Structure 1
Amino acid sequence: MSINIRRAILADVPAMSRVLIDSITELCVTDHRDDEKALAAWTANKSEAGVAKTVANPDLRVFVAELDGEIAAVGAVDTSGKIGLNYVAPTARFRGVSKALLHRLEQELLALGFAEGNLEATETARRFYRSAGWLENGPRATSRTVNGYPMRKLLTASG
């Protein structure tokens, strides 16, 4: 098993879109509760056109994690110090891909000059982030279609 993490390019967009939509649809049921309206709102900008805009956005650093040469996870940080995306393909779950991608995103935040990272975790991902040293940072947010949990982490070069 080989995991490679690199910056996303426009040629990655179709695979990235599939990973994002499959991850949300199949792995985040606890969050969207199979509510078609919530699911549609959450995945609306995960189309190929939406993902292409994300990759082209100069305020984002977008990454893909490849597992044995196939895109298996998508992540992004923004220039305000926040992790905005961290999704894994259902077929790659529990194979170390998400953990490796999260470490790379944390290192990118450090490279951008941030000593602390921030993100909003889904209910599905809360335990994953806690196990990686992230701490809850306030009450559950209610501004999104799918409510999330603000989290933060003091960043170090070792992860």
Structure 2
Amino acid sequence: MSVFQISSSTPLYSAAWTPSSTGSYAGTCIFLIVLAALFRGLIAGKHILEHRWLDTELDRRYVSVRGKPTESERISTDSDAKAATLVSERGVEEHVRVVRRKRRGGAAWRFSVDLPRAGYVTAMAGVGYLLMLAVMTFNVGYFLSVLTGHFLGELIVGRYAQMEEH
């Protein structure tokens, strides 16, 4: 039966990483705080990257096909388009309709997006599993260190990671 314990000589990840003094135990706890805060930073970073990749996808230019309406024709008939008046570099007022292309279905698979995303998520999973293993030692200090790191990470970068996944 597993129970929480307060030993300051609980190994972390391997027998070689066994704190032998109060100072080394504190150092291990600080490491876990930083690792958990880094994990929260990785979550925020993924959110930022997803927005950047989506913006790139929506702003991508496509080739028009004969017989199909052009983007400007589609915009002129779009009820969600907003009329705007812009002043050009020469001081001339130009009336334009502004609309952002809507995303229909999933984005196309792109090597330049999906490979970095897969690597990033793999790194996130690795850090998450390291934190999970630390908590699974049932050491109260390690457990509280991971929670403290999550708290500090959320406090620092939480506003950048407003999304559904965790």
TM (normalized to structure 2)? 0.22
Larger RCO: 1 or 2 (CA < 8 Å, sep 6+): 2
Higher Rg: 2
Question: Is the strand fraction higher in 1 or 2?
Answer: 1
